[in-house]
A = this chain, B = another copy of it.
């Protein structure tokens, strides 16, 4: 039995959170369970419930971190770009790259069905993380591509669609040799379209 002096409350919460992240990263969302997380750190399953109302909240926290990681990658990609067109390409490539190099984390975002039964929507702190990513793209597009908010949404949807398609193994089967090329193709055409 774990002694309560082994870890402070904060330490224990971090321990649970980190372990959940590791499990998702290494073996996918399905490999993360309340029992696995807690026994891996020498505690019993019930301990989770003093930090999270239920396992969905822990999953959401993991996904929230994924969104943060993505945001950071995109931000870094933008900061390196010299032109705004380069910035768009960089951000799109960074997104695709993250998805491909962190398949388990990325898939967890979309496999996860948040409280389907209770029907409640995602908490604000989570939605904010999503919005933040979108606004990054929106800002870049609007910088000088005469883009509007709708066009940013659509651009984002396309980038995301390619990312999904490139690694789904489901609706894919459209053998994507070089998804990077597809992405370039998409951006060239779409941006050309915006410029009339």
Contacts and interface: CB of A to CB of B under 8 A. Distances in A.
Interface of A: 28-30, 107, 109-114, 116, 121-122, 126-127, 130-131, 134, 150-151, 153-154, 156-162, 164-165, 168-174, 176, 181-182, 185-186, 188-194, 196
A142 to B, nearest CB: 15
A160 B164 CA distance: 9
A51 to B, nearest CB: 23
Task: Count identical subunits in the complex.
Answer: 2
Contacts of A126: 173
A189 B181 CA distance: 19
Given A28-B113, A154-B158, A189-B193, 9 more contacts: A112-B170, A122-B170, A150-B181, A150-B185, A151-B185, A154-B185, A192-B193, A192-B196, A193-B193
B169 A165 contact: no
A126 B173 CA distance: 9
Contacts of A114: 169-170
A154 B190 CA distance: 10
A40 to B, nearest CB: 19
Contacts of A154: 158, 162, 182, 185-186, 189
11 contacts: A29-B113, A110-B111, A110-B168, A151-B189, A153-B174, A153-B176, A153-B182, A154-B158, A156-B161, A161-B164, A193-B193
A61 B40 CA distance: 36
A150 B172 CA distance: 14
Given A157-B182, A193-B188, A196-B192, A170 B110 contact: yes
B162 A130 contact: no
A109 B173 CA distance: 14
